């Protein structure tokens, strides 16, 4: 869903007003005047207007579907976010058990099972969206589900091989959601006319994240009671079923896209930018996460880090000065985008550290089972439901910047409760409230970031908002674990005793508190910046 610029809207005859930053314009005004005034701000059209339907191409007619078909349609697309979080939660709940079966107990090595999945997911989302633009979003959605299913099957079969194969299968698993997530958003963005239904559809899409996480914890723990490979085999079966179901529930576009010459398609894919960008992200992330395992004394860790930075510089040059169809429209970015990226990265890095290390404390120090941990996350279901509904209703009524502040307050309070919890205290005193509050952060930070991003960039790149934010989210989870692992290994004295390991886990959790606090301060600064600009105008 990297770009929806292939849908051209009729230009308005009147001269547009001078541009203002999103923080200067009331949210309601933005929503009224902007064709992208909705949760993902993805360019979409009103299928109820017959004149527009005749002019616009590649439009999914969801507004014309019956209510039951709309529910199936949106539900199928929401499985992209749901299964993505299952792929994260099912391993988080059983990472220690899986590691033991391979003879691996080092926390740094185990964190790769989570970081590797999030790494490829975050790295390839923009490419997955661009592939959907060129070859069809529905086609890429189905291919992504099939790919995810295939590598889930390999992950289970790795029980007959070794830890290396399992780690690689987790890395390749992440490419499945990297295809399904942006293309599901691309389809949703072209399905409904801007308005309450579209807002609610995107709110439900984001709101399924906590449901998927708890389902992953629950089924991961249950299947681990029998044999852990069934965690991945059952997921593979479900994903294959979703791929088949999607062929029926997702309608084809009203008109197929005109076939482009191969040269034009290759130019649109921005292969040089994609190669340098992916290389930069992978090497930079690998250096931080591998340093947790082997330490910073190994020369190849520094080599990877330096090469990653250099590739990143080349990527920026290509995207700004060379590429005709950049994956990342850097030339259109401004200070508001910087705030969005920083706030989103700190919040979701905090979440990734929180969810991994409370599991480590519970399993390693508390002696809890995966099933118990899954039960701890059950409150996510009602809170996630209420949060998704609330966000869908609040969008357009209060500024997105304040919704982001609410999300960072939730991250900050929830992470403090987890870090301050005594290791053997009752669940209801700390973790219960931590789980409830963190869920609010998840359900508010994604939509608010997409809104602010889309209002801060020119219209032709507004459709990229959700894909770029998803890239930041998933990459932040992965790199955040690398940072936290570095903190852990530097203060746990090798993890020789339970007290040492607990000290390391707590250090990582307090690091997540620091990230949440930084995000909270940045979100307040963003609100203050908007207030100052508005005051100057008045």
Q: What does 8-34 look like in DSSP terms, one character per residue?
A: PPPPPSSPPPPP--GGGS-HHHHHHH-
Q: Which residue has the tokens 């991003």?
A: 453
Q: How far apart are CA 41 and CA 61, in angstroms?
A: 18
Q: Name the pTM for this structure.
A: 0.77
Q: How far apart are CA 537 and CA 185, in angstroms?
A: 36
Which two tokens mark 313? 């510089």
What is the per-residue pLDDT for 34? 36
Tens of pLDDT, residues 353-401: 998 898 889 888 888 888 888 888 888 878 877 887 787 777 778 887 8
Tens of pLDDT, residues 458-476: 766 656 767 788 888 888 9
Q: In sequence order, what DSSP letters do the residues of 40-96 get, joined into one string?
A: S------TT-HHHHHH--S---GGGS-HHHHHHHHHHHHHHHHHHHHHHHHHHTTHH
Identify any residues that bridge with 395 across adjacent strands, giving them in sequence order.
398
Q: Which of 489, 367, 481, 495 is nearest to 105 (CA)?
A: 495
Element (H, E) at 334: none
pLDDT in tens, the chain (538 residues): 333 333 333 333 444 444 444 444 444 343 333 333 333 333 333 333 344 444 443 444 666 677 788 888 889 999 999 999 899 888 988 888 898 899 888 777 888 888 889 889 888 988 888 888 888 888 999 999 999 999 999 999 999 999 999 999 999 999 999 999 989 988 887 777 666 777 777 777 877 877 888 888 888 888 888 899 999 999 999 999 999 999 888 877 655 556 677 677 777 788 888 889 889 989 998 898 888 888 788 899 999 999 999 999 999 898 888 888 888 777 677 778 888 889 999 999 999 999 889 888 988 888 888 888 888 888 887 887 788 778 777 777 888 788 889 999 999 999 999 999 988 888 888 889 999 999 888 878 877 887 787 777 776 665 676 778 888 888 898 899 889 988 998 898 878 888 889 999 999 999 999 999 999 999 999 888 877 777 777 7
Q: Which residue has the tokens 């890429």?
A: 140
Q: What's the maximum distance between 2 C-alpha atoms anywhere in the chain?
A: 72
Other CB atoms within 10 A of residue 403 CB: 24
Report CA-CA distances (Å) from 437 to 160, 380, 402: 40, 9, 17
Which sequence spans correspond to the domains of the chain? 62-257+265-270+324-537, 271-323
Q: Which of 481, 506, 482, 472 is nearest to 352 (CA)?
A: 481
Q: How far apart are CA 287 and CA 153, in angstroms?
A: 28
Any residues with CB less than 8 A from the CB of 538 and at least 6 apart, and which?
Answer: none
Q: Which of 361, 492, 495 is nearest to 421 (CA)?
A: 361
Identify any residues that bridge with 398 across adjacent strands, giving them in sequence order.
395
3-state secondary structure at position 136: coil
Report CA-CA distances (Å) from 368 to 103, 216, 424, 442, 518: 20, 17, 10, 25, 32
Which two tokens mark 524? 């307040």
Q: Which of 307, 304, 510, 524 is nearest to 419 (CA)?
A: 510
Q: How far apart are CA 191 and CA 90, in angstroms?
A: 31
3-state secondary structure at position 81: helix
Q: Which residue has the tokens 């931080």?
A: 288
Q: Which CATH superfamily groups domain 62-257+265-270+324-537?
A: MFS general substrate transporter like domains (1.20.1250.20)
Q: How far apart are CA 23 and CA 455, in angstroms?
A: 9
Q: Which residue has the tokens 């207007």?
A: 49
The residue length of the chain stands at 538
450 close to 40: Cβ distance less than 8 angstroms:
yes
Average pLDDT for the chain: 80
Which two tokens mark 319? 């995207």
3-state secondary structure at position 436: helix
Please report which residue ranges of 395-430 form alpha helices under DSSP H.
400-420
Q: How far apart are CA 83 and CA 216, in angstroms?
A: 8
Q: How far apart are CA 194 and CA 31, in angstroms?
A: 9
Tens of pLDDT, residues 11-32: 334 444 444 444 444 443 433 3
Q: Which of 257, 275, 276, 265 is nearest to 325 (CA)?
A: 265
At 369, give phi and psi (nearest 5°): -100, 160
Q: How far apart are CA 413 and CA 407, in angstroms?
A: 10
What is the per-residue pLDDT for 40? 36
């Amino acid at each position: 869903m990297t770009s929806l610029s292939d849908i051209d809207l009729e230009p308005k005859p009147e001269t547009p007003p001078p541009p203002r930053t999103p923080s200067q314009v009331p949210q309601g005004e933005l929503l009224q005047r902007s064709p992208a005034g909705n949760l993902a701000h993805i360019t979409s059209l009103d299928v109820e207007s017959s004149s527009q339907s005749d002019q616009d191409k590649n439009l999914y007619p969801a507004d014309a579907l019956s209510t039951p078909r709309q529910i199936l349609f949106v539900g199928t697309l929401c499985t992209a976010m749901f299964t993505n979080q299952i792929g994260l939660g099912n391993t988080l709940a059983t990472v220690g058990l899986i590691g033991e079966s391979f003879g691996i107990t080092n926390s740094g090595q185990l964190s790769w099972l989570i970081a590797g999945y999030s790494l490829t997911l975050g790295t390839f989302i923009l490419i997955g969206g661009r592939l959907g633009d060129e070859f069809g979003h529905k086609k890429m959605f189905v291919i992504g589900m099939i790919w995810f299913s295939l590598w889930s099957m390999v992950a289970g079969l790795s029980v007959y091989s070794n830890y290396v194969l399992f780690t690689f299968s987790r890395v390749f698993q992440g490419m499945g959601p990297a295809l399904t997530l942006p293309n599901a958003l691309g389809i949703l963005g072209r399905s409904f006319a801007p308005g309450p239904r579209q807002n609610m559809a995107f709110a439900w899409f984001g709101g399924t994240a906590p449901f998927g996480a708890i389902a992953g914890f629950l089924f991961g723990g249950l299947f681990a009671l029998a044999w852990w490979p069934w965690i991945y085999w059952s997921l593979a079966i479900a994903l294959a079923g979703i791929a088949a179901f999607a062929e029926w529930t997702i309608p084809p576009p009203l008109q197929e896209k005109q076939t482009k010459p191969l040269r034009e398609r290759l130019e649109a894919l921005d292969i040089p930018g994609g190669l340098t960008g992916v290389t930069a992200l992978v090497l930079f992330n690998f250096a931080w996460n591998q340093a947790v395992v082997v330490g910073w004394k190994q020369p190849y860790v520094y080599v990877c880090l330096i090469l990653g930075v250099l590739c990143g510089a080349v990527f920026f040059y290509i995207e700004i000065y060379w590429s005709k169809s950049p994956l990342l429209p850097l030339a259109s970015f401004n200070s508001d985008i910087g705030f969005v990226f920083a706030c989103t990265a700190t919040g979701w890095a905090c979440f990734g550290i929180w969810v991994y290390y409370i599991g480590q404390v519970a399993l390693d120090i508390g002696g809890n089972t995966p099933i118990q941990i899954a039960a701890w996350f059950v409150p996510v279901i009602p809170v996630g439901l209420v949060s998704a509904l609330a966000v869908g209703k609040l969008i357009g009524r209060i500024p997105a910047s304040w919704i982001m502040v609410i999300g960072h307050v939730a991250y900050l309070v929830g992470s403090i409760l987890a870090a301050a919890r005594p290791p053997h205290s009752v669940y209801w005193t700390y973790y219960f409230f931590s789980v409830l509050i963190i869920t609010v952060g998840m359900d508010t930070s994604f939509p608010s970031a997409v809104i602010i991003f889309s209002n801060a960039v020119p219209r032709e790149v507004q459709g990229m908002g959700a894909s770029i934010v998803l890239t930041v989210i998933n990459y932040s989870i992965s790199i955040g674990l690398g940072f936290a692992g570095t903190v852990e290994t530097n203060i746990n004295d090798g993890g020789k005793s339970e007290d040492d390991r607990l000290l390391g886990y707590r250090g990582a959790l307090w690091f997540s508190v620091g990230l949440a606090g930084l995000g909270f301060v940045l979100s307040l600064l963003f609100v203050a910046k908007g207030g100052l600009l508005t005051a100057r105008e008045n």
